[in-house]
Amino acid sequence: MTVSVGFALRNFSLMTGVSRCVSELARRLPAHGFEPVVFANRLPKGAVRKLDGSALPTCFVPWIPFTSKSRAASFDWVARKLLASRGAQLIHGEGDLTRQDVLTVNNCDAAAARYVPDGRSPSAGVEYVRKAQFSPDGSRIILAVSDRVRRDLSEFYGVPPEKVRRVYLGVDADRFHPNRREPTRATLLKQAGLPAETRLALMVLSGDPAKRNLSLAARAVEQLSRRAPLALCLVGNTAWREDAAACRLHERGRLLHVPPTLHVEDYFAAADVFILPAFYEEFGLTVLESLSSGCPCVVSARCGAAELIADGANGYVFSNLEDPGELIEALPKALSLRERENTCRKTAEEHSWEKHVSEVVDVYRELSG
């Protein structure tokens, strides 16, 4: 018997890591006997296709946009009403519902407030939702995207460890593949007016450059670029003009900014090294996508995906997030690993979307059986 699964998330634009993850999971569920419907306030411009080519059902969720709490409360209320009216037998929340059967924690806001040094604190809307969804009856099973998140849920929200399952995210190894490297790299360098020998350091951001520590990456690349042909490529939404080092790189023609794109795989393939120097990152889907593209990663120890990085094999993990010295030391080492595409690919292949879906389906069956 087919079981209907309702996914609820505010943003399903496919421009964020969370929306891409939901898409990959939902597309594959019908093969396991589960029929998904996605409920969201922001939907992609075109239809999302299941693996069989049919359109993935979606439902628009309106909200009251006046304040953080009004957005959160109205989305939660309307989404749950629509989920009930559509007969969803299992509800899978992505952080925007107060009550659900399965909750995937992609954002641990209290931990980010602790570690990101910009004085941030969770908004009233976030606090409203988190308090409820982490209560005893807010979620039946919680999925953490990394061991770091599992620990942080216990420390910052008092969630019992036995209620949390760690399920790593996955990657599409066909879409993110090294064979895209030569044509996309040559085109990108030519369009940017950079010499063919230029090495590209990549950051992919869907927002919040302060959390991802763009400033540290810019300072490190700026210093290294004075010794060797190195440029920083930024893909996504980021206010890089507010950072002095990034502006200096741009003035020297060593910074490329690419707006949000549905073809982000081209930039992973073209890059020589991927950087995620975040003050805090629950996982970092971009790390898996980089590894799958054969590109080594340099990530901070506060990234959940650092759990997948082995120093000197597929990248490097560093700890100093204030001074760029440690990152400056790690980047040339990582650049020397660019020829070891197979090592990076092997890590990524161990974390396929099929494996992710299988682990989530086991949870669904446990709850619906």
Answer yes or no: do 305 and 328 share one domain: yes
CA distances from 10 to 98, 104, 256, 276, 282 (A): 13, 14, 30, 25, 19
Give the side-chain half-sphere CA count within 13 A for 288: 26
Tokens read off for 66 = 């006046």
Tokens read off for 151 = 């620990």
Give the side-chain half-sphere CA count within 13 A for 16: 16
Tokens read off for 199 = 């090495």
d(CA 201, CA 194): 13
Q: What is the pLDDT of residue 152?
A: 97
Give the rounded percent of residues in the chain with a pLDDT score beyond 70.
100
Answer yes or no: do 110 and 220 share one domain: no
Q: What is the pLDDT of residue 237?
A: 87
Residue 290 banded pLDDT, cuts 50, 70, 90: very high
Decide if 150 contacts 161 (C-beta within 8 A): yes
Q: What is the pLDDT of residue 125?
A: 93
Tokens read off for 149 = 């998140």
Tell me what percent of the chain is helix, strand and coil, each rounded to the nearest 5.
Answer: 45, 20, 35
Answer yes or no: do 219 and 316 share one domain: yes
pTM here is 0.93
Q: What is the pLDDT of residues 193-237, one digit of tens each?
A: 999 999 999 999 988 889 999 999 999 999 999 999 999 999 998
Tokens read off for 338 = 């660019």
Answer yes or no: do 202 and 166 share one domain: no
Answer yes or no: do 222 and 156 share one domain: no
Q: What is the pLDDT of residue 341?
A: 80
Total domains in the chain come to: 2
Answer yes or no: do 229 and 356 share one domain: no
Give me the phi and psi of 91, to 5 degrees please. Answer: -110, 125
Query: 75-84, 176-185, 357-366: which range is least confident on average?
Result: 176-185
d(CA 112, CA 107): 8
Answer yes or no: do 324 and 210 share one domain: yes
Residue 168 banded pLDDT, cuts 50, 70, 90: very high
**Structural domain boundaries enclosing 250:** 178-349
The CATH number of whichever domain residue 275 belongs to comes to 3.40.50.2000
d(CA 40, CA 166): 25
d(CA 122, CA 214): 21
Instruction: Give the mean model confidence (pLDDT) for residues 136-162.
Output: 97
Answer yes or no: do 48 and 37 share one domain: yes
Q: What is the pLDDT of residues 20-70, one digit of tens each?
A: 999 999 999 999 999 999 999 999 999 999 999 999 999 999 999 999 999
Residue 354 banded pLDDT, cuts 50, 70, 90: very high
Answer yes or no: do 126 and 258 share one domain: no
Decide if 247 contacts 234 (C-beta within 8 A): no
CA distances from 74 to 67, 71, 95 (A): 10, 5, 14
CA distances from 197 to 183, 230, 273, 274, 339 (A): 15, 9, 14, 17, 15
Q: Is the pLDDT of residue 339 over 80?
A: no
* Strands, sheet with 297-300, edge to edge from the N-terminal-most edge strand: 255-258, 230-236, 199-205, 273-276, 297-300, 315-318
Residue 367 amino acid letter: L
Answer yes or no: do 156 and 241 share one domain: no
* Strands, sheet with 58-60, edge to edge from the N-terminal-most edge strand: 58-60, 34-40, 3-8, 90-93, 100-105, 139-144, 164-166
Tracing tokens 């998140």 back to the chain, one arrives at: 149
Answer yes or no: do 140 and 184 share one domain: no
CA distances from 300 to 77, 303, 338 (A): 37, 6, 19
Q: Is the pLDDT of residue 191 over 90?
A: no
Answer yes or no: do 63 and 187 share one domain: no
Give me the phi and psi of 189, to 5 degrees please. Answer: -65, -40
